[in-house]
Amino acid sequence: MLKLNAVILFLLDFYIFFALRATKIKFMRTRWFTILWWGYSLILLVGLYISFAYSIPLMVRSIILVAFFITAVSKFIYAVVLVIDDLRRGGIWVSRLFSGRKGQNLQERLEELEEPLPEVPKKGISRSDFLLKSGIIVAALPMVPLAWGVISTAYDYRIRRQRLILPNLPKEFHGLRIGQISDVHSGSFYNKKAVLGGVEMLLQEKPDAIFFTGDLVNNVANEMRDYQDIFSRVKAPLGVFSTLGNHDYGDYFYGPTDSPAKRKNLQDVIETHKVMGWDLLMDENRTLKAGNEEIAIVGVQNWGTGRFPKKGDLRKALVGTEDKAVKLLLSHDPSHWRAQVLDTDIDAMFAGHTHGMQFGVRGENFQWSPAKYIYKEWAGLYREGNSQLYVNTGFGFLGYPGRVGIAPEITIFELLRA
């Protein structure tokens, strides 16, 4: 995948480079521009390879990823502008080809090609030159919000409060407070103080129980080495219940096939949950008791539609919950809800996974993100029949080390009887 990305980026660089050389900006026709353009691209690709292949300081990795992401987005946008101009020019060429206009004089041909006669300089700017130059400005625009998303909002944790009305909730559990965090992705962090601040925000809410809905790491268990002590502070009177996400299995590091190293890594991730005092639910359930009443906390391994791992066994996880008044499910991927959960008597499912794509708009009454075109349920509360789903947009980040409009989330639920 990394090699494929490198080839795509090289072709993109090649396409844009020669387009810039064709502009009338003098600097872009100089040797220095060539050196800077290809030198920066080479350094960025080498840095990207090193950041994935070797263990380097998280701050350095973050800088590389920020630079790569912002550069890639800007180049992609500029390439779109170039394609539009090329299509326009191609359309003109085809039109002329079939128009039968063969008797043009030299002056007319040069004007249609938007090139001035040497002895009579044209005034103004041609459409192509305008598109090329304005495209540079348009491509540079994303740098501001993307850079701000790293500097200001990557660790700008927000508390979202959600009342969860459950018709069958026993009265002893009315008012129960549950905290949820998801998608820690510890391998992306580079600021321990900021992460600790987020954990303290959660604990200040004093929830009765806490749910963690998967993706503790990006790829390997040792990413938690510098953060295990911080997340070990996450405690609640009724317990902390957790489950695994697609990244926790090591598929993106070790590959999809089984191996001793991959199995050991997964076992180390599981052991990390135990060391922190979290009750990891691997297709199983627990019972919360209050007086003579009980509700079930159910947890499954990752189960997602499409290319994502289908490790979980929901039927197995529900064994023994038949007599429980309310069943609360922890399942990392929200696509599991429509695929399997709606066919059960589970009252509410808690998920993560989408991150809200770390980009969008989210207010009290309106939210939008490109994530909505991939996941029907991507952030917040959803209801269908007697079942409910809440999708947490994540505590950490992945790939792009920041967030624009979709803040890292800590959710506090209040369970209420209908």
Segment 326-353, tens digit of pLDDT: 999 999 999 999 999 999 999 999 999 9
- Boundary-marking domain end, from 141, 172, 187: 141
In this structure, the answer to whether residues 246 and 364 fall within a common structural domain is yes
Q: Is 278 within a domain?
A: yes
pLDDT tens-digit series, residues 92-141: 878 777 775 554 555 555 555 555 545 545 555 555 565 555 655 655 55
**What is the residue range of 114's domain?**
2-141
In this structure, the answer to whether residues 103 and 14 fall within a common structural domain is yes
Q: Which of 8-22, 28-42, 184-198, 268-282 has the lowest mean pLDDT?
A: 8-22
Q: Is 146 within a domain?
A: no
E strand segments, 132-239: 158-166, 177-181, 209-213
CA geometry: angle 292, 297, 298, nearest 5 deg: 140
Q: Is 336 within a domain?
A: yes
In this structure, the answer to whether residues 287 and 247 fall within a common structural domain is yes
pLDDT tens-digit series, residues 37-90: 888 888 888 887 787 677 666 456 656 766 776 777 777 777 887 788 778 778
Residue-by-residue DSSP string for 315-360: HHHHTT-TT-S-EEEE-S-THHHHHTGGGS---EEEE---GGGGBS
In this structure, the answer to whether residues 190 and 335 fall within a common structural domain is yes
Q: Which span out of 26-30, 133-137, 151-155 was modeled with the highest average pLDDT? A: 26-30
Contact present, 261 and 254 (Cβ < 8 Å): yes
E strand segments, 182-292: 209-213, 240-243, 279-280, 284-290
Inter-CA distances, 376 with 150, 234, 300, 330, Å: 27, 31, 21, 18
Whole-angstrom distance, CA of residue 132 vs CA of residue 78: 8
Q: Is 147 within a domain?
A: no
In this structure, the answer to whether residues 19 and 65 fall within a common structural domain is yes
pLDDT tens-digit series, residues 168-218: 999 999 999 999 999 999 998 988 999 999 999 999 999 999 999 999 999
In this structure, the answer to whether residues 24 and 117 fall within a common structural domain is yes
Q: Is 80 within a domain?
A: yes
pLDDT tens-digit series, residues 288-312: 999 899 999 999 999 999 888 899 9
In this structure, the answer to whether residues 57 and 189 fall within a common structural domain is no
Other CB atoms within 10 A of residue 293 CB: 15
Mean pLDDT score of the chain: 86
In this structure, the answer to whether residues 163 and 137 fall within a common structural domain is no
In this structure, the answer to whether residues 135 and 242 fall within a common structural domain is no
Q: Is 65 within a domain?
A: yes
Tally of domains in the chain: 2
pLDDT at residue 280, as a whole number: 98
- Boundary-marking domain end, from 110, 141, 172: 141
Q: Is 148 within a domain?
A: no
Whole-angstrom distance, CA of residue 401 vs CA of residue 293: 44
In this structure, the answer to whether residues 46 and 195 fall within a common structural domain is no
- Boundary-marking domain end, from 99, 119, 141: 141
In this structure, the answer to whether residues 195 and 127 fall within a common structural domain is no
